[in-house]
Amino acid sequence: MNVLEINSLVKTYGSHTALSNIDLQVPKGCIFGLLGPNGAGKTTLIRIINQIIEADSGSIFFNGQSLRQEHIQHIGYLPEERGLYKKMKVGEQLLYFAQIKGLSKTDAQSKVNHWLNRLQVSEWKNKRIEDLSKGMAQKIQFIATVIHAPELLILDEPFSGFDPMNAEIIKDEILALRDAGTTVILSTHRMESVELLCDYIAMINKSHKVIDGSVAEIRKNAKTNLFSVKLIKNDEIPFPQWESYQDHQEYVSFSIPLNGASPNMMLKELMQYGEVIGFEEVIPSIGDIFIQKAKENDHA
């Protein structure tokens, strides 16, 4: 079942089209990557889902119901432009955000303590936001976003401002939330995050959706039947000049297409030229696929 279904969504600003007939289905309990260059329309789509702005036409369904204002209680949104009250203390601020999202004061206090302990920032509870480092403030912003246990969590560049150690902590928390049943929409430029975290992705470029589906299927469909080979040569046998050939002294590396042969057949052929120490299919990364699809869309 899908937590979110978007049908034929259109949004324009004067003569500029921000979204053009966007269709998306976001399955429950997954991490869904929303990709695209700056100005592609991602932020506009996120703001429409959060009911900050309205679409010109099209429809959005949340758990099978037409998206309404009351559904906001079940959505958590971490915008790229962070918004904390600098003069408020950490604990007071989190308590405020939790109660805005419908938690009782008792439940809110319990959740605040739970998350401060979980992210190891309890000692900062009575500090003002302006006294925190950027990374620490980012942790507090993350807690404010998830404190009400949203069913749908929308994260716009969630790793911005984090050092590698804290980025890893937030990554683990996102995975834990997914495993507990939360659906996560992750908007990011960090392709390594997409490879590590996302189950499904959609790419938007110049207001149009250019591709969507599971990460596994998208990568599978992008395969070129090209294999990367490492081989210790038998110098007694003449050696073909295959593509991307490099001599590494102890071994050589190159790329070779299957040309209709099976991998086993190709491996058997290669063995006559020496000892094969590496044989791996070349599958484009999500970053490579993203760049290629963006270029195709630019020239369409």
Segments making up each domain of the chain, as ranges: 2-220, 224-281
Question: CA 137 to CA 134: how far, in whole Å?
Answer: 5
Q: What pTM value is reported for the model?
A: 0.85
Candidates 80, 108, 82, 106; CA nearest to 94 is 108
Q: Are 58 and 47 in contact (CB under 8 A)?
A: no
Please report the pLDDT score of residue 298 as a whole number: 66
Write the CA distances from 19 to 22, 44, 61, 292, integer angstroms. 7, 8, 17, 21
The three-point CA angle 21-199-191 to 5° equals 80
Please report the pLDDT score of residue 300 as a whole number: 56
Candidates 229, 263, 267, 266; CA nearest to 248 is 229
- Strands laid side by side in the 57-62 sheet: 16-27, 2-13, 57-62, 65-66
Please report the pLDDT score of residue 82 as a whole number: 66
Determine phi and psi for 46, rounding to 5 degrees: -60, -40
Q: Give per-10-residue mean pLDDT for the chain (300 aa).
A: 95 93 96 88 93 95 94 91 83 93 92 94 91 88 94 91 86 95 90 87 91 90 89 87 88 91 92 94 86 71
Question: CA 59 to CA 57: how far, in whole Å?
Answer: 7
Please report the pLDDT score of residue 16 as a whole number: 92
- Which of these CATH numbers, 3.40.1440.10, 3.30.465.10, 3.40.50.300, 3.20.20.70, describes 2-220? 3.40.50.300
Q: Are 242 and 75 in contact (CB under 8 A)?
A: no
Please report the pLDDT score of residue 157 as a whole number: 87
Please report the pLDDT score of residue 194 as a whole number: 85
In the structure encoding, which two tokens stand for residue 244, read together? 């991307």
